[in-house]
Chain A
Amino acid sequence: MSKKLATRALFADALAGRLDRRTVLTRAATLGISAPVAAALAQSSIRTALAGDPEVLEVTSYDWQYANHPGLTEFVARLSETVPTEAEIAPSANFSTDVFLSEAAEQTSTWDLYTGVTPFLEMIQLVESDVIEPWDPYLPEGVLDDLFPPVRAEGTYQDQFYVWPWLLDIIVQGWNAEIVEAAGLDPEAAPATWDEYLANAQQVIDSGAAPFGCTFDFHAWRSLIPITHSISLDVYDPETGLFMWNSDPAVEALEIMKRMMPLANPDVLNPGTTDGGVNQTPDEQAFAARAVAYYIKYQNAHLRFASTWEDPGALRFGALPAPEGGAGGTVFWTTGAVLLKYGENKEQAAQFMHELNQDNAIWQNSITGNMPASPAVGQLPVYQSLWEEYEANRPEWITDWAFAIKDGLGSAQAITPTILSIQQFDLAAPFYTAYLRGETDDARAALTEAMDTVQAAYDDAMA
């Protein structure tokens, strides 16, 4: 057998998981394959062999979950001592579910569960495409009742529980107390109304404390819809679930955003540079650079980007402002796990999620961070029993803001999921950003065009 053929056979055997690590390394050395390649091949061999082992729980997660929660790796290692578990990063950038879809079409699945699902973005697609199945038969007793009711409702579709939540994010306002104080404002007081918020932002600029007063992320689920929720929560079509883009509260919210524009960093409408423009957005850069005082987004953005300040302790949080007489709501979502229909080890998957949710090492790191290795990200647990325990026997690492943000769940509402997923927001964005840029001067007309476009896409999807 020529060296070329022998090498090819080695790769085929290793990638198919037919060889143990020792054999791979021995054969690779005989063939003169470089050490890094041989090591990678041996690793692949193990992974593939494990994938073929029905006894091993196969978990895949969004890449940011490992970056934001380094304790996940340790958790997997710990769990593996009792439940053999193999975990890896999912090929799912920009909320893509293609890989799961492709495998389900072949009635197979490399993994048993995927922990990177945000219900309003991916849940319906995954259900409708027959990729996932409900958790209900595998749930330990009492888990559903232990979830905060809106969180439980968020992961439920057609009366079945599909997304087991893990990480809670809520849209809040955060501010740089040093800048606010330098502007002559009370650094501990959160603006209660949008008028107050805008007036404070103006004062920041006028005082020269920072070049910009406020900023936001223009993606609708991070700004327009939360601001709309602060006005009214009755903004979803009961039949389609679509956000009612041209409803009165949405128009009012867009007008509030329009008033923010001259107070915000001028690149605020530029898309981000990762995940199809969704992440690494300009608001994050402005807040990190201390060029802006007030900032509306989910709490983990404030925390991550305040970690670059000289004094990250200058970060303050408050509930989203609301207009006089408004609903005072905001948007929350969780990121959680789905059970892949063609995966195996369903009971072990349930055990994984149940124990993951109760792993205090992860929550401690999420709330306090471990600088310089990992900043606090502030994503919070969703089990009521955990919070009751924190209140009864408060751990030293838990912070007041963590309780405050958790309490914000009381007035928060999840975005209703639809089959359009993220495309609903991509389709509407050009219309309302045109208004924010001043290219059109009628907020209602802009949002009516957005609504028409989204509705047409929805009708087409359901045709």
Chain B
Amino acid sequence: MAQLTVAQPQHGRSGAERSWLQRVGDWVSRYGVPWVFLLPTMIFFIGWAVYPIVRVAWFSLLDYRPIQADRPVTFIGLQNYVEAFADPLLQVGIIRAATFTALFLPGMIFIPMFLAVLIDRITNARVATFYRLVLLIPAMIPGPLIFLLWKWMYDGYIGPINYALVDVLGIFTIQNQPQWLSNQLVIPGLTIMEWWWGLGYHTMFFLAGLASVPRDLFDASKVDGANEWQMFWTVTFWRLLPVTLVLVVLRFGTAMAVIDEYLIMGGFMRDRPTYTWTVYMWDTAFQGVQDRGYGAAIGWVGTIVMLVVVAVMFWAFRSRD
């Protein structure tokens, strides 16, 4: 009986016979080349993302006040964090940011979702496009212009809202008209502004989600006698849930970290609802004696709180397939 033999490929000399230079060459060709190709991305990633994070983390371990040139920069370990965790102003600042976020998120979800459902029902393509364009206009306007616009909207003397309430409807007088940027109303006022600003952007997310919902589901629901409301809650809402969850996670982070709006509408008044942890961080790091170390620690504490909540969200919204 013939015996089948398979020839083994010859790789030159055995490992023991090869010089260390050749072995290094082999290692480089096997593992080094991919790293060379990865290098540009790594440089960008480290320079753009990792370095600033590490740098701020390092600042948070220092007693560092650049405004006082004679004061030496000293390493103080976790002392800034010990103070930050016990700082009532930081705690209040985080609660204030969470309050805004809790007000903002539901409207940020349900108003655009409702609008998206309405636009999705429009059968005339041109009209639907027109609505999409109109909705996107606020998202195209630069932030400072938005703040200027809403400052005018909320103005007690020339703003259209109070003009309607006082001069047209006569519900209020100039003496007792709502002060939209007062301590009591500034957070709801800013929330409405943010809803308006993000309306088109968020609606587009939901329209994209709706485009992926099979029409058969709606047809079947209609055959079963479901009305629009029932179709929404039994089909649309659940089919849009993945998009909703993405939006909630994304906008949770941005809402908790809002700062421009607070600075513009609230300044540095520590008793204002707009004096959140982000404003406190900025105030500490860049005003007065510019305590950069403690400011960095405040930033990290706020970030850690946000990361914990985002981790809980990821766990709660995890795929159960």
Interface residues of A (CB under 8 A from B): 96, 98, 101-102, 105, 125, 128-130, 211, 265-267, 269-274, 276-278, 280, 282, 285-286, 288-289, 291, 419-424, 426-427, 429-430, 433-434, 457, 460-461
Given A125-B67, A420-B288, the answer on whether A427 and B179 have CB atoms closer than 8 Å is: no
Using A105-B66, A426-B268, A430-B269 as known contacts, say yes or no to A289 and B157 having CB atoms under 8 A apart: yes
Contacts of A130 in B (CB 8 A): 69
Q: B268 and A276: CB pair below 8 A?
A: yes
Asked whether B271 lies within 8 Å of A430 as measured between CB atoms, the reply is yes
Contact in complex: B266, A129 (CB < 8 Å): no
Question: Chain B: which residue is nearest A270 at the CB level?
Answer: B181
B248 within 8 A of A: no
Which residues of chain A are within 8 angstroms of B70 by Cβ–Cβ distance? 128
**Which residues does chain A contribute within 8 Å of B179, judged by CB atoms?**
266-267, 270
Cross-chain contact B155 with A277 (CB below 8 angstroms): no
Knowing A276-B263, A433-B271 are in contact, say whether A267-B67 is a contact too (CB < 8 A).
no
Tell me, yes or no, whether B151 is within 8 Å of chain A by CB.
yes
Closest A residue to B177 by beta carbon equals: A266
Known: A130-B69, A271-B267. A266 touches B283 (CB 8 A): no
With contact pairs A129-B67, A266-B176 given, residues A271 and B287 touching in the complex (Cβ less than 8 Å): no
Contacts of A102 in B (CB 8 A): 66
Contact yes or no, A267 B181, CB < 8 A: yes
Interface contact A278-B69, CB-CB below 8 Å:
no
Nearest CB in chain A to that of B267: its residue:
A277
Q: Which residues of B contact A (CB under 8 A)?
A: 65-70, 147, 151, 155-158, 174-177, 179, 181-182, 263-272, 283, 286-290
Interface of B is mostly: loop
Choose from A98, A128, A274 the contact partner of B264 (Cβ within 8 Å): A274
Chain A nearest CB, measured from B201 CB (Å): 24
Q: Do A128 and B69 form a contact, CB below 8 Å, given A270-B182, A285-B156?
A: yes
Q: 29 A-B residue contacts at CB 8 Å? A: A101-B66, A101-B290, A102-B66, A128-B67, A128-B69, A266-B177, A267-B179, A270-B179, A272-B267, A273-B151, A273-B181, A277-B264, A277-B266, A280-B151, A282-B156, A285-B158, A286-B157, A419-B67, A419-B288, A420-B288, A422-B288, A423-B287, A423-B288, A424-B288, A426-B283, A426-B287, A433-B269, A457-B289, A461-B68
Given contacts A128-B67, A267-B156, A461-B288, contact A426 B264 (CB under 8 A): no
Question: Hey, which chain A residues are within 8 Å of B157, CB to CB?
Answer: 285-286, 288-289, 291
Residue contact B267 to A278, C-beta cutoff 8 Å: yes
A277-B288 contact in complex given A285-B156, A426-B283, C-beta closer than 8 Å: no
Provide the bound-state CA to CA distance between A130 and B71, in Å: 12
Given A105-B66, A267-B156, A282-B156, verify A457-B288 contact (CB < 8 Å): yes
Q: Which residues of A contact B290 (CB under 8 A)?
A: 101
* Contact yes or no, B155 A285, CB < 8 A: yes
What's the Cα separation between A334 and B268 when bound, in Å?
Answer: 23
Is B269 a contact partner of A277 (Cβ separation < 8 A)?
Answer: yes
Q: Using known A-B contacts A285-B157, A461-B288, A461-B289, determine if residue A129 contacts B264 with beta carbons closer than 8 Å.
A: no
